[in-house]
Amino acid sequence: MATSEFWKYLRPLKRWWWLIVLAGMVAGVSSMAYGLSRPLLYRSTATLMIGSAIQDPNPDNTQFFLAQALARTYADIARRDSVRGAVMQALEMDWLPSYSVTARTDSQLLEVAVVDVDPDRAQAVAAELVNQLFRLSPAGRESNQREFFVQEQLQKLETTILDTEEEIVRRGEELAQALSARDIRDIEDDIRALENKITSLQANYAALLSNTGRGAINTVNVIDPPVVPTQPVSGDLWVTAALAALIGALLGTAAAYLLEFIDDRIKTVENVHDMTDLPTLGTIPAIANVAAKQRGLVMIADQQDISAEAFRVLRTNLLFASVDHPLHVLQIASPSPNEGKSLVASNVATAFAQTGKRVVLVDADLRRPSVHRLFGLVNNVGVTSALVGGLETVESTLQKTTVPNLLVMTSGPLPPNPSELLSSQRMQELLARLKGLCDLVVLDSPPVTLVSDTAVLAGSVDGVLLVFRAVETRRDAARNAVRALQQVHAHLLGVALNFVSGDSHGYFYSYNSDYGNRYYRTAYMRNKGQRSGNEDGVSRQPSGAVSGEVQG
């Protein structure tokens, strides 16, 4: 059961495979054509760092988060018209290529990216953007002057400290050579004064060194300078085309399921069950035999045709469907005209007759009768004659056919009041009389949804077989027909799916894909050597051949 459900969901793919392939091909080719037609693009990037917390062995959290906020601010400033104008003025350009300045999440880094068809221009614009951001920062305006002053002062202090240290060494040498107590005391006082001076100079030196780090939070440092790109960033055309083809195929698949969802035509056995909750007792393929196709009576013209085998399967399934309810009167109807109910009724009646049963086929379609044309019979007497003339005329209205055990009662002259005749007490008596004359009565009745004739008869028969035409019968028509018959408490046996074509949108006429075709052909090969040219005593040349396919 699970496997059946799985294949059920895959059937739209089987039916619409060409749409999926076409959508994928169109998308892939279009992507390739677009990629080949557009110019190659080049990207030049630069990475900046705001602040110098990374250089500090003990960075402060506040300093780090402030640097992140400043990075976002610089990214916003870089997109302003003032910066754009400054870049265009510096490069003497009337326009700027596409660029982006992005502050990376949870980082002090700022990325500048410029995309252009000219790699040199992309690098120049990126470099100028970096320059403008550097000029806007406080470090960019003051760092040179401050750095020069600090370095100058540090050099002076270093020189003074070295000179003082040399003086201390010299005075130490003098101390070693001094003889008088007064000279020793004076030299020691000078050495202590020089040492105090060195201490003061070193403190000033340390202060100047610490001063070089002031304002470091709001500084712009270039980590990766922009370079001239050598490889385009347009991407691999084949990869892009493959991705586009995949997306196109997915869209085609979605379209296939959408089309399947909105398509209300009955095409498969599964459709029959899903839309009507009725079993499919038989699937009748389109008749291939030319002679049989002209007449529709494949059970007479070519019993070795797979359509004939399909009618035998339908006959067997009808017997199984009525095993608890003896089938003496079988009504065959369809929701709408031209669905092949008369063809099915005639071939089913023939199939039962070929088993030795005495069968009477009654054309109860008193509006558009067609059984007489299928069998090449006259229609001057029939159902209406028996109803109007009395039951004593029943036997005289039955016409013999070339099929042994099969009699046909045509419709007779068309009456002005078909519904009244079919719902009359005489019609009930006629059916009772026919049941006494044969083993099975097969009624070919009008379309259910057009007139009330079929519903009138349905309550008086032992079983009703509905005929649906594959790819033609609509969901609403089928449901309305079932509903109308259920309202009169008709015994619905099931459905015969008619005119099923093996190439009908990827579906075949079997219960499970091509299983039915193999089944029918296997049966055909099995029976081919067993059947003579005139099995069951049936003539292969039905009398009164009439050209033109009868659909009923």
Q: Which CATH superfamily is domain 41-233 in?
A: EIF_2_alpha (3.30.70.1130)
Write the DSSP assignment of 178-245 as a string of letters.
Answer: --SHHHHHHHHHHHHHHHHHHHHHHHHHHHHHHHTTTTGGG-EEEEE------S--S--HHHHHHHHH
What is the residue extent of each domain of the chain? Answer: 1-38+234-263, 41-233, 264-530
pLDDT at 460 over 50: yes
Q: Which three-class secondary structure state does DSSP give residue 56? A: coil
SS3 366: coil
Average confidence score pLDDT of the chain: 81
Q: Are 42 and 233 in contact (CB under 8 A)?
A: yes
Q: Is 7 helix (H, G, I), strand (E, B) or coil?
A: helix
Q: Give me the pLDDT at residue 30, please.
A: 92
Residue range 468-521, pLDDT digits in tens: 999 889 999 999 999 999 999 999 999 999 988 764 433 333 333 343 444 444
- Does residue 188 register a pLDDT over 90? no
Tell me the pLDDT band of 349, cut-offs 50, 70 and 90. very high
pLDDT for residue 248 is more than 90 = yes
- In the numeric block, the tokens 């005329």 are attached to 393
Q: What is the pLDDT of residues 286-341, one digit of tens each?
A: 765 544 444 568 788 777 888 889 999 999 999 998 887 889 999 999 999 999 99
**Tokens found for residue 398:** 């039955």
Residue 375 has pLDDT above 50, yes or no: yes
Mean pLDDT of all residues in 391-396:
80
- Averaged pLDDT for residues 412-430: 90
Is residue 101 within a helix (H) or strand (E), and if so which, with residue range?
strand 98-103
Residues 358-374 have a mean pLDDT of 94
264-530: CATH homologous superfamily?
A: P-loop containing nucleotide triphosphate hydrolases (3.40.50.300)
Query: Under a CB-based contact definition with an 8 Å cutoff, are residues 310 and 508 in contact?
Result: no
Place 364 in a pLDDT band, splitting at 50, 70 and 90: very high
Mean of pLDDT values over 280-286 = 90
pLDDT for 522? 44
In this structure, of 377-386, 455-464, 527-536, the range with the lowest mean pLDDT score is 527-536
